[in-house]
Structure 1
Amino acid sequence: MIKKILSFEEILKGCIKNDNSCKEMMYKSFYGYLMGIILRYTKNISDSEELVNDSFIKIFKNVNNFKAPKRPEELQKTFKGWIAQIASRTAIDKLRSNKVQFYVDDLGEDEHPVTQVSIASDLHVNDILNLLNHLPDTQRLVFNLYEIEGFAHDEISKLLTIPENSSRVYLTRAKNKLRTLYQNTLVNSYKKKWIKS
């Protein structure tokens, strides 16, 4: 029996109608995408798999609430943004339930001033994503929310129930640590090349 190839729009409509074959197609199509998002928040693979599945449960439960864009050609892009938000919030809820402590080492902002740190010119996206696993949980979380997901500090403050200034300090610390990690990675790779030659 030959299966009919469905468009994304048809798959989405099938999910809204609770069609299991469409849900399976949706799951297979976006599993890797959501895993990539979840892995930015957690280092543990089995936790990540569980969080991706939890995200799909929420997606299928709330797919009726998805607001399709007016332009049909933007449907899949808009849907990806919607499910990415569900996945990132699912990961944040998990971190909260694990009682990740959100505090800034008892330092006031005047004791640890926020500085502008631009790492974009020095780092490639893949390098940043690989180095994110070396950040403390809270710094990684704030970096993801601000730099990758596009949340503002006031939104992060409400989401994590931390002061807005703390969000800024965490972001600065994350960027500083990423820069140091990246420089160490470069130095080590040059040393390896030098030893080989």
Structure 2
Amino acid sequence: MIKKILSFEEILKGCVKNDNSCKEMMYKSFYGYLMGIILRYTKNPSDSEELVNDSFIKIFKHVGGFKAPKNPEELQRSFKGWIAQIASRTAIDKIRSSKVQFYVDDLAESEHPVTQVSVASELHVNDILNLLNHLPDTQRLVFNLYEIEGFAHDEISKMLNIPESSSRVYLTRSKNKLRTLYLNTMVNSYEKNG
């Protein structure tokens, strides 16, 4: 029996029709992509797998509501953005349901000037994820939402039920901490190799 190679558009249509083989192809195609997104939010590998699977459940449930762009060449990119948003919101919901407390005490903005983090091009994705995993949960969450997912501070404040100013302070603190972690990593690397 010869299997026909399906286009992405055909696989997507199959998922809308609840075709299990198309769902399996979609799952295998985007599992790694969604895992990369989820790993920015959680440190625990078993939680990550669970969140990826929960994301796929939501994706398959709502795939009929995906608004495909008119230009077919943009279909896959648009779909990736759509599923990335589902995955990040699934991770945020999990964090919220775990009753992580977002503390607003001693967050005076004037105490912490805004800084920029510059990352050397040699830094690998795993190194960046490792640095992010050293951040406190709230700082990591705000950093991911603002710098990686592209949400504005007003959106983040609504998602996390914190004041907008707290979102800005958490971002500043996360950047300061990342800079310190990065510099320590580079110094340790230099001492080992130098």
Q: 2-side partners of 1:141 and 1:50: how far apart?
A: 18
Q: What corresponds to 1:95 in structure 2?
A: 95
- Does structure 1 residue 117 correspond to structure 2 residue 112? no
Amino acid at match of 2:116: S
Distance 1:13 1:110, change over 3 A: closer
Taking structure 1 as the reference length, the TM-score comes to 0.93
Amino acid at match of 1:141: L
Amino acid at match of 1:109: A
Q: 2-side partners of 1:29 and 1:65: how far apart?
A: 20
Amino acid at match of 2:82: W
Structure 1 runs not aligned, ≥5 long: none
Query: Superposition pairs for residues 4-19 of structure 1, below 5 Å?
Result: 4-19=4-19
Offset of residue 128 of structure 1 = 2.8
Q: What corresponds to 1:156 in structure 2?
A: 156
Q: 2-side partners of 1:23 and 1:100: how far apart?
A: 33
Q: Is the 8 A contact 2:109 2:169 kept in 1?
A: no
Taking structure 2 as the reference length, the TM-score comes to 0.94
Deviations 1:11-52 (A, max 9, x none): 000001111110000000000000010010000001110000
Q: What corresponds to 1:45 in structure 2?
A: 45
Deviations 1:81-126 (A, max 9, x none): 000000000000100111111113x11425534x221113557572
Q: Percent identity?
A: 80
Q: 2-side partners of 1:67 and 1:120: how far apart?
A: 36
Q: Is the 8 A contact 1:128 1:178 kept in 2?
A: no
What value does the CA root-mean-square deviation take over the aligned residues? 1.4
Structure 2 runs not aligned, ≥5 long: none
